[in-house]
Structure 1
Amino acid sequence: MFFFLSKLLPLFVYPLGFSLLLMLASLVLLWKRPRWGAFAVFLAFVVLMAGANGWVCAGLVRSLESQHIPTDEVPNAEAIVVLGGATRSPSPPRPWVEVNEAGDRTLYGAKLYLDGKAEYVVLSGGRISWRGEVGSEAEDMAKIVEAMGVPSEQILLDRTSLNTHQNAVNVKEILEERGIQRVLLVTSALHMPRSLRVFKKQGIDAIPAPTDFLVTDASLAAMSDSWEAIVLNIMPDAQRLALTTRALKEYVGIVVYGLRGWL
C-alpha cells in the first residue's frame, strides 16, 4: 500500500495535478464565491506557466544535476552498480528490450566496465506489474550490457527492488556475498543526490558516476542568446513541464525518504 500511495499522492503536488485540483476547486467556488473561484483559476494558470517555463525548468533540474558533476576521471572500484528505471520490456510488438529516456544509465554502466573500471556490474531493478510489462529491469539491462560486450559471469542481478531504498538494501546483500567494498554508482544525474545518500545510509562506499544529464552548459547559455530564444522559453512547453515534474519528484522523494529515515 505504501508503494501505491507513494506513486499516487505526489501526483497532486506536481504542477499538472495541482492545477487540476485548483480548477476543480474553482468549479465549486464559482457558484457561491466567484472571486475565490477566479483566483483558483488564475493560480492554476500561474502554476502551469511556471512549471513549463524554460528558466524554471532548467533551474530546478540543474539544482540537482550540479551536485555531483565529475571533476576528475572516474576512479576504479570493485563493482559498477547501475540502477533501474531505464528500460522497457520486450513486450509485443517490441522486437527486443528497449531503453527509455534514462537508458544512458545502462549504456554508461557497460562503458565503465569496458573501460576497466571494475570487475563486476551489478544491475538493480524489479518491475511494477500493473504496467503490463514482464520480467525485471535487471534482466533487461543484462541483455543490453551483454550485447555491448560485458561477460554474463561478471553480471550480478537484483531482480526485485521497486524503489531506490530497496535498490540499496538488495545491492548491499549482493556486495556482502562477494566481499565487495567499493562501488561506482551509476544513475541519472537528476536522481543521484537521493540515490547516493540512500546508498551511503546503508554503509555502502559508493562513488557517484552520474549520467543522463538533461541540462548542459550549452543549453543554458542558448536560453538567452537571442530574443527568439527568450520568447520560446517564456512560452509553455509540455516537455519542460515534464522535466519540472521530474525534478519536483526528486525533491518530494528526498523529503519522504528523510522522514522514513532512509537517507
Structure 2
Amino acid sequence: MSFAVLWFSSINWVTIPLVRSLETRYLPPQEMPALAVAVVLSGGTHPQLAPRPLVEVNDAGDRLLYAAWLYHQGKVEKLLLTGGYVEVLNPEMPSGAENMATLLPMMGVPPEALWLETKAQNTYENAVFSQQMLQDAGIERVYLVTSAMHMPRSVNIFTAQGIDVIPAPTDFLIPDADWQYLFSGNLLSQFINFLPQSSNLFLTTKALKEYIGLVVYAFL
C-alpha cells in the first residue's frame, strides 16, 4: 500500500494536473495598470549563513525577479516586502523581508523604494500586517507577487483582510509545454509519464499542502 501511494504521488499523470490546477487559477494579468505598491511575499531566499558568501535565492527566487521587473517597468513605485523569521530557531536570523531587501538593490531597485514588514510568520500574518501598513498609507489596491502555486491561498487570505489585489504570479513550475507533453501520443512519452520521479513527489507534497491550506483558511 505504501509503495502504491509513493508511486501514485510521483508520476507525471498525478503531479502535473495537481500542480497546474493551482497555477492556472491566476495567470499573469494581460493589462497591468500603474499602482503605488506591489506586495512581495518572502520565501524566495536563503539567509547568509556560512559558508554562503551572501543572501542567496532559492527555487522561489523568481518572486524577487518579477518584483524588480514590475518596478523597472513603472508598474509600481514601491515594493512592500513581507516576511519575518522563526525566532526560536535563531534569534539573530534576518527576516525574509530583510533578505529580499539585501538582494533587490543588486537588481537595480533603490533601497528607498523598499518597504519592509518583518514580523509575519505565515501567509495569514503576511496579509494582516501588510493590511495595517497599507491602510495607514491610504493604499487600497496592490499587486500581489508570489509563486503561482501559492497564489490561490494568498489571494483568498489577502482578500479576506479587505485588500484589493491584482495577482501577479511567477515561479510557474508546469509550463504549457509540459501539459501538452502529458497528452502526447508517443508511446515512449507515455511510458515516461508513468515512471516515478522524486521531483514529482516533492511537487505533489507542495500542492497538497496548498490545498490543505485552502481548506484550513476557509474556516478561519
TM-score range, shorter chain: over 0.9
Contact 1:123 1:157 in 2 (8 A): yes
**1:147: Cα distance to partner?**
1.1
Structure 1 unaligned residues grouped into runs of 5+: 1-42
Structure 1 CA distance, aligned partners of 2:137 and 2:111? 16
Task: Name the TM-score, length of structure 1 as normaliser.
Answer: 0.79
RMSD of equivalent CA atoms: 1.4
Residue in 2 that maps onto 1:196: 155
**1:177: Cα distance to partner?**
2.2
Structure 2 CA distance, aligned partners of 1:244 and 1:98? 25
Match of 2:159, as an amino acid?
K
1:85/1:71 Cα in 2 relative to 1: closer, same or farther (>3 Å)? closer
Structure 1 CA distance, aligned partners of 2:72 and 2:207? 31
The answer to which of 220-229 and 55-64 deviates more is 220-229
Structure 1 CA distance, aligned partners of 2:172 and 2:146? 10
Structure 2 CA distance, aligned partners of 1:44 and 1:130? 34
Residue in 2 that maps onto 1:119: 77
Structure 1 CA distance, aligned partners of 2:114 and 2:16? 36
Task: Determine which structure has greater relative contact order: mean sequence separation of CA pairs < 8 Å that are 6+ residues apart, divided by chain length.
Answer: 2
- 1:12-32: CA deviations, max 9, x gaps? xxxxxxxxxxxxxxxxxxxxx
Identity of aligned residues (%): 47
Which of 75, 80, 83 is matched with 2:41 structurally? 83
Contact 1:78 1:181 in 2 (8 A): no
Larger Rg: 1
**1:130: Cα distance to partner?**
5.4
Count residues in correspondence.
218
Alignment of 1:177-256 (within 5 A): 177-225=136-184, 226-256=186-216
Structure 2 unaligned residues grouped into runs of 5+: none
Match of 2:193, as an amino acid?
N
**1:138: Cα distance to partner?**
0.2
Compare the two structures and name the one with the higher helix fraction: 1
Match of 1:175, as an amino acid?
L
Residue in 2 that maps onto 1:51: 9
